[in-house]
Amino acid sequence: MEKSMKINFRLNKTLKSNIITYGIVIAAYIIVQLLVNAGQVSNLMKGLLVPICIYTIMAISLNLTVGILGELSLGHAGFMCVGAFSSALFSISMLDAIPNAGIRFFFAILIGAFFAALAGIVVGIPVLRLRGDYLAIVTLAFGEIIKNVISVVYIGKDASGLHFSTKNAMALNMAKEGTVIINGAQGITGTPKNSTFTIGVILILITLVIVLNLIHSRSGRAIMSVRDNRIAAESIGINITKYKLMAFTISAALAGVAGVLYSHNLSALTATQKNFGYNQSIMILVFVVLGGIGNIRGSMIAAVLLTLLPELLRGLNTYRMLIYAIILIVMMIFNWSPKLIDLRKRYFHKNRAEKERA
């Protein structure tokens, strides 16, 4: 009797925590909408609304890999890139076939998520056999490969369908009225601008539902057991590869969704070092680390704050990356240095003891 009560209480606790998380998103959405309607939001801030959604989704998605799966992925921007390009290609080539922007965008999101998930599986199968540092460097390598490959691809469309080449736009052999959609290093132009703040927030909520439910499911507990002790998890019959791949693929698919938002927020899209390179992956890692590794709500808040702050404090922009770097180092030393752990134990002794009991 007592035991079942305890379980009940536990469930309620996670449910409560989840409701708070959803509540924060919805409340933030309502407040922003009210401000926008009241004309209190500058154009600069309006332009930031969609990027905030994009980075929030990216941060949640990376936190699934880093915090819940416990593996460091440095190629997350690569999955975003796959989602962005596949969905933009879909949207442009279906511009006439599906005139309704809403339906087309819905399918574009599915397409982006699907191809990013596919990339996640292709990358994940070999990569997840590795551990730790190797995994980090290989995901980084994959991110770079994806970016490099996309910038040599040419895809065009005419009456007879899609044409594909890796040489140049002329090698597509299209009919006269054909148009080039992906023009190698020049990327994609003319993607319909379908991303809105409302859609972004809905996607954040969907992301949260997926990730939070995964964490508190049987699979989620299996994934976390692999993180905490791989050998122990394996010895009780948990299929490590399956759960690792599952978390990694879901994470990649969510990054793909962020990519769809990204590509449909810009009319011209190129795969450069700046937007889909290693730096972008690191920036998202900073969100995750600052928000708390494994803490979904925290990484959400960190993503919003760190996207807003540099824009609000223009003077800070030069030092932004410097500050990010210092955040990474200081957070890690603060969390792991034996001396600082002792210090914290002394000052917050009570809290800590309680936490350990829980």
Partner 1 sequence: MMSFISYFINGLSLGSVYAIIALGYTMVYGIAKMLNFAHGDVIMIGGYVVFTVVSTMGLGPVAGILLAVILCTVLGVVIEGVAYRPLRMASPLAVLITAIGVSYLLQNIALLVFGSNPKSFTSVVTVPALKLLQGKLIISGETIVTIISCIIIMIGLTMFIKKTRAGQAMLAVSEDKGAAQLMGINVDGTIALTFAIGSALAAVAGALLCSAYPTLTPYTGSMPGIKAFVAAVFGGIGSIPGAFIGGLLLGVIENLSKAYISSQLSDAIVFGVLIVVLLVKPTGILGKKINEKV
Chain contacts with partner 1 (rule: CB under 8 A): 66, 70, 72, 74, 126-127, 129-130, 132-134, 136-138, 140-142, 144-145, 148-149, 151-152, 166, 185, 231, 278, 282, 285, 289, 293, 318-319, 321-322, 324-329, 332-333, 335-340
Smallest distance from partner 1 to CB 131, Å: 9
- Nearer Cβ to partner 1 (44/152): 152
As separate numbers, helices (DSSP H) first and strands (DSSP E) second, the chain gives: 15, 5
What does the chain come to in residues? 358
Distance CA(108)–CA(117), nearest Å, equals 14
Least distance between partner 1 and beta carbon 291 (Å): 13
- By C-alpha distance, which of 107, 55, 122 is closest to 259? 55
Minimum CB–partner distance for residue 317 and partner 1 (Å): 12
The residue (of 34 and 333) whose beta carbon lies closer to partner 1 is 333
Written as six digits, the tokens of 39 are 């004309």
Quote the least distance from Cβ 202 to partner 1, whole Å: 32
Q: What is the CA radius of gyration of the chain?
A: 22
Min dist CB 19 to partner 1, Å, is 30
Q: How far is the CB of 283 from partner 1 (least distance, A)?
A: 10
- CB of 209 or CB of 313, closer to partner 1: 313
155 or 285: whose CB is closer to partner 1? Answer: 285
What are the distances in angstroms from CA 157 to CA 109, 183, 186?
21, 12, 16
Helix axes 76-93, 132-150, angle to 10 degrees: 30
User: What region does 187 belong to: left with phi over 0, alpha with psi -120 to 50, or beta?
Assistant: left
Nearest to partner 1 of 53, 58 (CB atom) = 58
Q: Which CB atom, from 305 or from 328, has the smaller least distance to partner 1?
A: 328
Is 173 exposed, middle or buried (CB count within 10 Å of its CB: 0-12, 13-18, 19+)?
exposed
Contacts of 127 (CB under 8 A, 6+ apart): 135, 138, 139, 142, 248
Closest CA to 199 of 300, 81, 94, 49: 49
Residue (90 or 324) nearer to partner 1, CB: 324
Q: What is the smallest separation between the CB atom of 179 and partner 1, expressed in angstroms?
A: 23
